[in-house]
Amino acid sequence: MVSERGLQVLRAIVQDYVDTREPVGSKAIVERHAFGVSAATIRNDMALLEDEELIVAPHTSSGRVPTDKGYRVFVDHLAELRPLSPGQRAAIASFLDGSGDLDDVLVRTVRALTQLTGQVAIVQYPSFARANVTHVELVQLGGGRMLVIVVTDTGRVSQRLTFVGEDFDDADLARIRAGLGTLLVGRPVREGLQRIAERLEGPDAQAPAHERATDEIVRAVAEELEEFRQDKLVMAGSANLARRESDFRGSIYPLLEAIEEQVTLLRLMGEMVADEHGLSASIGRENDAFGLGEASVVASDYDATGSLARVGVLGPTRMDYPTNLATVRAVARYLTRMLEQDDSSR
Amino acid sequence: MVSERGLQVLRAIVQDYVDTREPVGSKAIVERHAFGVSAATIRNDMALLEDEELIVAPHTSSGRVPTDKGYRVFVDHLAELRPLSPGQRAAIASFLDGSGDLDDVLVRTVRALTQLTGQVAIVQYPSFARANVTHVELVQLGGGRMLVIVVTDTGRVSQRLTFVGEDFDDADLARIRAGLGTLLVGRPVREGLQRIAERLEGPDAQAPAHERATDEIVRAVAEELEEFRQDKLVMAGSANLARRESDFRGSIYPLLEAIEEQVTLLRLMGEMVADEHGLSASIGRENDAFGLGEASVVASDYDATGSLARVGVLGPTRMDYPTNLATVRAVARYLTRMLEQDDSSR
DNA sequence: AATTGGCACTCCAGTCATGCGAGTGCCAGC
DNA sequence: GCTGGCACTCGCATGACTGGAGTGCCAATT
């Protein structure tokens, strides 16, 4: 239906519209792009593109604006990701380099990304469901309070304070600790949760004297594992939404809400389908189900020592997809490499 | 200068303006409030109020709007805090009741507050500078990695993963742990930091064999203490800013930025001066230095087992001060009580 | 068959004039 | 010190008009 040149016209419209924020007309296209044909010809192509619902005219006689479908075609078939400039690569490196635990690295990642793109940046924590428990530690604080610590091989540490109602002597504590160790250490989080559930149903005869207290400890461990299983996000740059306010027809309220909720964004990020390079985009009304019909998300998978997660940006539908895709990809790669290094140094 | 009735007129103007978002004229005042005098009389009073810069007319002939100075006089002399309704009290209770560690309680507090006021809610962590260290725990994870945990008597737990480069045998580890214990346990965070600084200058002869590794551990502890010393915030409800967008003349960008930065808000909250009831307000241009000239903060002190901190809301200058003050105070009181209870149960 | 120049047409955005209404300031009188 | 009255000032909405940008279509050209 749409000719090859027609697609080039679509590309030109998307590029110019993202550039200027103004509907783009046939004359503007022949001026800014060397098509070698006249404005009337472009007009004919534009009529076809409009038939295909790739572009629309806001008013009877004004330039054209890409539809969500138009952006989709652009992203899938027309966008060429320019590699980042050396300066941008240096910026990523200077942001991300330096040691620190997982939390630290992800916070720095998200800052780098919001800085580079001027959008809201989002980083998913690596999915911990597959992570393995490496340590369970119990620290008595006196007065019946117990600090319960769980560590996984993905480098995440979780601690929880719980009131168990009594203090144990060292031997009992060591026994409980050992029991939890054999129950959990070396096993994936998901499996650990199952084993704990079983244990809570058929009470163990191991420490009947302190049964209630140990149950309390086990419950605390279970809560921590459960927290690992839920995915988590780090975000930055929400203020950018206000800066590009004009890009959102309606209010930015739903966006800020989604950012605060996190759950919505987690679902959205989770449901996106990546291409063969690990890149994915969800455009405009495709996000209607999440109340984000005026926004787009562009993301790239990254590899946190075996478990996959995503890093992406959230912005107006009218965003610079090629640049954002390229940036997100570069950051994801750098992040993957950093986590590998970190792992090998251990 | 301004008569008693003049102040009542100011109160009426503030109330009506907050209600209607429209400049309020003399006629509207005599209609809505039973002053028992005519509109012309009110007009004379309004002229005086305008001389005092407590109100202004946006245009030559439109109703009046309170100035920041007007709001200040209103808050200081005219506002009567209505006690909350039983329903609202119940809402606070249902939000806050239930156990959990400090993080948990503060998150629930901030949610309750944003829910009740429809503003951005902010809760300061109790200042940890005066808190005492109760435990220092070291957990070896193998491969030269060490988990360093510090606990204070205010219930806060901090953990940090650090790479020390070697594994200790149990005896050495116990010795280091004991050393840190005598150095820090039972002492305030601030003092602990000093002692560590001294120790790092004049190296201890205690464990020369592992000097570098122990230094690394000590450094990690110092970082954690430093983190305690910095105050911290929990916030919720930033999406509310977008809902009342119309209340902000300019963009909400600086507000969102301050929320993301936290540092700005920490300084602002810290510098506010409370009255004898622990209530404080910072209005409009008084916040210019923080880039928040169109916003107000209303806060109440609360008592976290001895160390004072604040809970407040951030919103447009044109906010309902009496209601927000009353809500903030009620939440602060409830929070104080909860933390006391929690403490006594330990 | 594709491209082009030309032309009539549509609609937006800005400008100006007009009228209305709300609200003020001031003054003379009570 | 309060009040009613009155002239005055603006803001705002309305409507008419214009210029300009951009389209759609058609007949002519390659």
- Above 50 in pLDDT, residue B198? yes
pLDDT given at position A202: 59
Q: Which nucleotides of D are covered by protein (CB under 7 A)?
A: 2-5, 8-11, 20-26
Are A282 and A76 contacting, i.e. CB atoms less than 8 angstroms apart?
A: no
> Global pTM?
0.85
Which of A144, A147, A255 faces B157 most closely, judged by CB atoms? A147
Q: How far apart are CA A246 and CA A342, in angstroms?
A: 42
What average pLDDT does this structure show over B27-56? Answer: 92
How far in angstroms lies nucleotide D6's C1' from the CA of residue B320? 38
Q: Which residue of chain B comes nearest to A239, CA vs CA? A: B256
The pLDDT-based confidence of B171 (bands split at 50, 70, 90) is: confident
Rounded Cα distance between B342 and B340, Å, is 5
Least confident of B94-98, B278-282, B297-301: B94-98
At B205 the pLDDT is: 46
pLDDT, greater one: B99 or B120? B120
| Residue B34 Cβ under 7 A from any strand D atom | no
Mean pLDDT of chain B: 88
Q: What is the mean pLDDT of chain A?
A: 88
Cβ A61 to strand C below 7 Å: yes
Running DSSP on this structure, what letter comes out for residue A248?
-
Higher pLDDT, A211 or B180: B180
Spatial contact of B309 and B127, defined as CB atoms under 8 Å apart? yes
At residue B219, the pLDDT reads: 85
Give which of B237, B240, B245, B196 is closest to B216, Cα–Cα: B196
Please give the helix or strand (H or E) that residue A155 lies within, else none.
none
pLDDT for B61-73, tens place per residue? Answer: 889 999 999 999 9
* pLDDT confidence tier of residue B225, bands split at 50, 70 and 90: confident
Q: Does B161 lie at the interface with A, CB-CB under 8 angstroms?
A: yes
Report the C-alpha dihedral over residues A74, A75, A80, A85, rounded to 10 degrees. 130
What is the reported pLDDT for B104?
84
Mean pLDDT, residues B207-234 taken together: 78
Nucleic strand C near CB of residue B207 (< 7 Å): no
Nearest chain B residue to A238, by CA = B256
b/e per residue B143-178 (b: at least 16 CB within 10 A): ebbbbbbbbbbbbbbbbbbbbbeeebeeebbeebee
Using the Cα atoms of residue A73, residue A76, residue A77 and residue A80 in order, give the sign of their dihedral.
positive
**Which chain A residues touch B142 with a CB distance below 8 Å?**
134
Q: How many other CB atoms sit within 10 Å of the CB of residue B284?
A: 21
Distance CA B262, CA B271 (A): 14
Of residues A284 and A251, the one with the higher pLDDT is A284
DSSP H stretches of helix in B2-151: 4-20, 26-32, 39-51, 68-73, 86-96, 102-117
Instruction: State, as a whole number of angstroms, the distance between the CA of A270 and the C1' of D25.
Output: 49
Strand C: list positions under 7 Å from protein Cβ: 3-6, 9-12, 21-27
Whether the beta carbon of B188 falls within 7 A of nucleic chain C: the reply is no
Per-residue model confidence (pLDDT) at position A67? 97
* Range of lowest pLDDT (A86-90, A141-145, A178-182): A141-145
B321 contacts B284 by C-beta, under 8 angstroms: no
Q: With 60 as the cut, is the pLDDT of residue A345 above it?
A: no
A333, burial (CB in 10 Å: exposed 0-12, middle 13-18, buried 19+)? middle
Of the candidates A141, A160, A245, the beta carbon closest to that of B135 is on: A141
What is the model's pLDDT at position B345?
A: 42
Name the strands in the sheet holding B157-163, side by side, starting at the edge strand that comes first in the sequence: B133-142, B145-152, B157-163
Handedness of CA A81, A83, A87, A93 (dihedral sign): positive
Query: How far is C-alpha A247 from the chain's CA centre?
Result: 22
Helix H or strand E encompassing A262: none
pLDDT band at B129; cut points 50, 70, 90: low
Instruction: For strand D, list residues 301-320 of chain A whose Cβ lies within 7 Å of it.
Output: none
Q: How far apart (Å, rounded) are the C-alpha atoms in residues A242 and B256?
A: 8
- Contact present, B193 and B229 (Cβ < 8 Å): yes
Confidence grade of residue B343 (pLDDT, cut at 50, 70, 90): low
| Per-residue model confidence as pLDDT tens digits over A288-330 | 999 999 999 999 999 877 678 999 999 999 999 999 999 999 9
Q: Is A239 on the interface with B (CB under 8 A)?
A: yes
Contact with chain B for residue A66, Cβ under 8 A: no
Q: What is the pLDDT of residue A344?
A: 43
Q: Which of residues 96-115 of A touch B (CB under 8 A)?
A: 99, 101
Q: How far is the CA of B283 from the C1' of C25 (A)?
A: 31
Cβ atoms A70, A10 nearer than 8 A: yes
Of A142, A257, A346, the CB nearest to B145: A346
Instruction: Give the distance from residue B308's alpha carbon to the nearest chain A alpha carbon, in angstroms.
Output: 23
Q: Is B135 on the interface with A (CB under 8 A)?
A: yes
A345 touches strand C (CB under 7 A): no
What are the chain B neighbours of A135 within 8 Å (beta carbons)? 139, 141, 147
Q: What is the pLDDT, as a whole number, of residue B196?
A: 83
Q: Which residue has the higher pLDDT, B130 or B35?
A: B35
Give rounded-to-5 percent helix, strand, coil for chain A. 55, 20, 30
User: Nearest-CA neighbor of B314 among B333, B337, B294?
Assistant: B294
Q: CA B41 to CA A207: how far, in whole Å? A: 84
Examine the pLDDT at A253 and tell me if it is beyond 50: yes
Q: Which of B111, B152, B260 is best to mutate for the A interface (most A CBs within 10 A)?
A: B260
Task: Return d(Cα B107, Cα B127) in angstroms, integer.
Answer: 17
Identity of the residue in A151, A163, A237 whose CB atom sits nearest the CB atom of B141: A151
Average pLDDT over residues A27-51: 93
CB atoms within 10 A of CB B35: 16
Amino acid at B294: E
> What is the C-alpha to C-alpha distance for residues A12 and A34, in angstroms, rounded to an integer?
10
Structure confidence at residue B191 (pLDDT):
84
Check residue B327 and give its pLDDT: 97
pLDDT of residue A301: 95
Distance, CA of B286 to CA of B283 (rounded, Å): 5
Predicted local confidence at residue A228, as pLDDT: 77
Lowest mean pLDDT among A265-279, B156-170, B319-333: B156-170
Q: Where are the beta strands (DSSP E) in chain B?
A: 55-56, 65-66, 120-124, 133-142, 145-152, 157-163, 233-236, 279-282, 295-304, 307-316
Q: Copy the structure tokens of residue B70.
A: 């007007």
pLDDT confidence of residue B46:
95
- C-alpha distances in Å from residue A341, one per residue of A125, A344, B216: 18, 5, 21
What is the percent of chain B with per-residue pLDDT over 70, rounded to a whole number?
Answer: 93
**Phi/psi at B330 (nearest 5 deg)?**
-65, -45
Check if the beta carbon of residue A301 is closer than 8 Å to that of residue A308: yes
pLDDT at B232: 86
Q: Is A214 helix (H, G, I), strand (E, B) or coil?
A: helix
- What pLDDT, on the 0 to 100 scale, is given for residue B203? 54
Dump pLDDT digits (tens) for A79-136.
889 899 999 999 999 998 876 778 889 999 999 999 999 999 999 988 776 778 888 8
Question: How confident is the model over B274-287, as a mean pLDDT?
Answer: 95
Query: Taking Cα atoms as reference points, which of B269, B6, B341 lies closest to residue B125?
Result: B269
Q: What is the per-residue pLDDT across A153-166, written as a single tens digit (0 to 9) for each? A: 777 788 888 888 88
pLDDT value of residue B168: 86
Q: What is the rounded CA–CA span in Å between residue A54 and residue A48?
A: 9
